[in-house]
Amino acid sequence: MKTREEVLEIGEKYYINGCYRGYRGSDEGEFDIKEELLELFKSKNVKYSIDFEYGFDSPGYACDFLSIAWIREDGELETTNYLLETM
- Percent with pLDDT over 90 in the chain: 80
Q: What is the pTM of this model?
A: 0.88
In this predicted structure, the answer to whether residue 86 has a pLDDT above a threshold of 90 is no
DSSP string, 48-80: EEEEEEEEEEETTEEEEEEEEEEE-TTS-EEEE
Reduced to 3 states, what is the DSSP secondary structure of residue 73? Answer: coil
Q: Report domain extents, the chain.
A: 3-86
Alpha carbons 3 and 55: distance in angstroms, whole number: 27
Output the CA torsion 17→86→12→22 (10° steps). -150
CA distance 69 to 35: 15
What is the pLDDT of the chain when averaged over all its residues?
A: 93
Instruction: Render pLDDT for 24-56 as a digit per residue (tens, 0 to 9).
Output: 998 999 999 999 999 999 999 999 999 999 998
